Each structure stands twice: as structure tokens, then as C-alpha cells.
Structure 1
């Protein structure tokens, strides 16, 4: 899909060159790479190659979402993954909210992903179900992003076409059926208070995937957009621990005789 509007300053995709271990970051619905930039820079400082694509229709103008399907969003992430995989021997994918949904879909299709990390992933949001009954061209007004820290400002849209929400709802149902195909190591970050995605989504995902290695970290001081909230340092710390552990285990497997 061709976007009709320019990218909002600060909402651009970003990439940091580093080691042979790559980290792919995926923002959420109506968010932008800005929402994962802080943690992305932290991984880059540790020497990893970091890529954060901007999903089609995001970070420009809400009217661009009138013509985007969930396949467009997935294609954005898939292309970034394939580009990163061509550069790195090892790749981990981190997804927030709908970015988690996209990450699960990607992992169900690419078994060579070395690990996935999900931040308040979305797979079932009952509060949004009524959007299915709205005219696709109807615009829904958005409230402030769900962030506990009052000093944080996220780049997002003030209103969103119902069509985009309908795509999201349909996509969550599609990915829910693909969860048993996910076998890669997985760790999740779950905010105890989330006003957008019920925290139970994380438990459902962990119960449904077929990964042998599963873990969860509870975030007591963040709301939905946790990568920008008070617990962001905990997310970085635990993510690095997960990635370092998995990378060491993978290396041992590769060099064992």
C-alpha cells in the first residue's frame, strides 16, 4: 500500500549497526518506532544490531489507515526480519501490544527465529468488539496513550478509522489460531494494570504456544505502553538476560561435537 502522507518527525524507522546478533523491534497499533526507541538504543549500546521498522499506515496520518490491511502491517515486519536475518546469524524479535501479535505470527511462520519477547501482547480485546459494527469509514476518537509516567509523550493519532480497528480484531483472531505453531523460546512482560489489553492475554498466549522455554515478568509500575513507562529499565535488563542466555545456549549447540 502506498501512503499518501509524510512521516511525522520522530516517528521514523531506526536502525543501529552492531554485532551478528540482531534485535527486531515492533511497535503497536497506531504507535510508531518512537515507542520502542529507548529500549532499542539500550540494546544498541550493548553492541547488538537493532532494527525497528515503521508499520505501514503508522506515523503519518490516520487517513493512511483507511486503506491498510493487517497484511500490510505484517509485510512491514516480515521485510525487516528478512533484511535483518540476511545481516545477522541470530535474530530476536520484540513486539509490544499489536507488535506482539505480529511477532507471534512471524514466529509461527519462521521457525529459525531464536527467541521472541512480548510486551503486553494483544490476542483478545473484548472492549473493542463493538467496533466491528461501525461503518469502516467512521473515525473513532482516541484518548491519551496508556502510560503511567505523566512526563512521557507518545506519537500517535488523535482519531482512527473503524476499518483499522476491524483489521486489528480480525487479525487477532487469525493469529490466535496460529499460536500452536509457535515453538521458539518466549518471554513476556505483563503490566498488572493495563487499560487497553487485558493482562490475561499474556497468560493465554503462554498457555497456547508450543515453546519449550516460556517465562513471564510482571511489571508493577507501568500501564500498557510499558516500553516508555516506569518499568522500561526492567524490560531492558530482563530482555538482555534472556537474549544472552539464549545466545550462549545456541552457541553451545553449534560448537558441540
Structure 2
């Protein structure tokens, strides 16, 4: 059992609702706080929400340094299985690295739908560190959010080992996108200073999903769940979920 103390406000949470579950996954160096607005709004609409905290996030740099990307994949798989215990439908939504993890999950299990927010298949600023082993920790800039009043709980630096794990995860996800057959909704910010918005187009073309669509977030940067377009995400996601639920009832 991991007894590491979680930064106040960065805790995972589970909100019990109806038989439609939503698994929410934050991004690299983020925490459930970064997607909490989405989770609370989903819960207000009656859905059961499981917002997970990925191992090593929202605790200490040393714990993050000790993780590998398989730990994060397992966190997402465990979160999905928890929802399946009580929910007949489960949708997954992930931001940035969380989007990559959502796609990895959807390629392995029968999700009722997958949604990504600026999903990461490439982070150009981290490519420099691909073959480096030092320095141990890399300084992080301010979160990429257009809204100056938004606050995200993050570390001010990240372990170089964690960057290596992220790079490996993105490569693995890209290589298995064709396995994704679930209905998919991709949110993307044309002005994203972390992940090239072309990543979302690449995902759109490579997944095997028959039902797929994209929604631009024209007034948000990378961390869109905390930015000006967060209500656009909510409205489109709920419409997507409701349409898939209706489709299953009609079939």
C-alpha cells in the first residue's frame, strides 16, 4: 500500500450516480484537480464519475521518478474495472497524456465511447531528453492555459525518467491506434503550445472507429479543461454520451 501524502486538492474522487460511468484521466504532471470541473459537471448531469490520480502525480517528484508508464496504464485499467462493477455503460475521457492512456484502454477493452482533449502523441519540448540521463529533474514552465486566472496543481519540475516514460507511452499508443474501434470524440486546441494539434488529426485518421468526430477549442490552450472552452467540452461530451446511449437502446 502506498502511504505517500497527496498534495491537498490533488486527490482522486468517485461520485456515484446512474448506470452510465465516466472515467476521467488527467495529463502528465497534472492531477484530478485539472479535470475536476469536468467531473463535477458530469456528476451534476447524473453520471457516475471516477476521476483517477495517476501514480507519482500530485505527491512527490521521487515517487514520480520511480514510476513507469505501465503503472499509469494499470491505473486507468483499474479505474475502468471499478466503474464496470456498477455501471452498464462506461465512457472514458482523457486530457493530454490522459488522452493517450484513454486510447490505450479503448484499444484493449470494450469502451462505450472514448473522448480525448489535446491527446498527446508527441511533445516536441521533451524530444531533446529522449537519449539523455541527466539532469535528474527538468524545470517545468507555467501550465499552458489561456485564462490567466486558472490555476493548475503541478510540480515545478519533472524527473527525466518520467519524461522517458511519457515518450515510450506515446510511441506505444501511436502503434496501437488501429485497435481502437469505440466511438470517439476528439477535442483539440488549434493554439496548443505543448502538443501539436496535428496529433488529434493523426488519431482521427488512424483509429478504426466508424463513429468519430472532432471539436475545435478555439479559445483555449493545452490544458483546455481549465480554460475558456471548458463548457464547450462539457456540452459536446454529454451530447456524445447521450447519443451513444440512445443508439444502444435502439439497437
Cα offset for 1:63? 1.5
Cα offset for 1:134? 2.0
* Aligned ranges 1:123-162 → 2 under 5 Å: 123-135=121-133, 138-162=136-160
Cα offset for 1:13? 0.2
CA distance in 2, matches of 1:162, 1:25: 26
Cα offset for 1:136? 5.6
| Aligned counterpart, 2:88 | 89
TM-score by length of 2: 0.98
| Aligned counterpart, 1:168 | 166
| Aligned counterpart, 1:39 | 38
- How many pairs are equivalent? 251
Partner of 1:133, secondary structure, is coil
Would the alpha carbon gap of residues 252 and 136 (structure 1) be closer, same or farther in structure 2, given more than 3 Å must change? farther
Cα offset for 1:62? 1.4
Partner deviation per Cα, 1:201-242 (whole Å, 9 max, x = no partner): 000000000000010000110000000100000000000110
CA distance in 2, matches of 1:195, 1:3: 34
| Aligned counterpart, 1:244 | 242
Structure 1: segments with no counterpart, 5+ residues: none
| Aligned counterpart, 1:72 | 71
Cα offset for 1:128? 1.7
Partner of 1:87, secondary structure, is coil
CA distance in 2, matches of 1:127, 1:146: 13
Cα offset for 1:156? 0.4
Q: Which runs of 4+ in 1 moved over 3 A?
A: 2-5
TM-align CA RMSD? 1.1
Cα offset for 1:129? 1.3
Would the alpha carbon gap of residues 136 and 115 (structure 1) be closer, same or farther in structure 2, given more than 3 Å must change? farther
CA distance in 2, matches of 1:138, 1:57: 16
Partner of 1:83, secondary structure, is helix
CA distance in 2, matches of 1:214, 1:144: 32
Cα offset for 1:137? 5.9
| Aligned counterpart, 1:200 | 198
TM-score by length of 1: 0.95
* Aligned ranges 1:56-67 → 2 under 5 Å: 56-67=55-66
CA contact (8 A) 1:3 1:64 kept: no
CA distance in 1, matches of 2:3, 2:242: 41
CA contact (8 A) 2:13 2:50 kept: yes
CA contact (8 A) 1:66 1:137 kept: no
| Aligned counterpart, 1:26 | 25
Would the alpha carbon gap of residues 150 and 228 (structure 1) be closer, same or farther in structure 2, given more than 3 Å must change? same
CA contact (8 A) 2:25 2:93 kept: yes
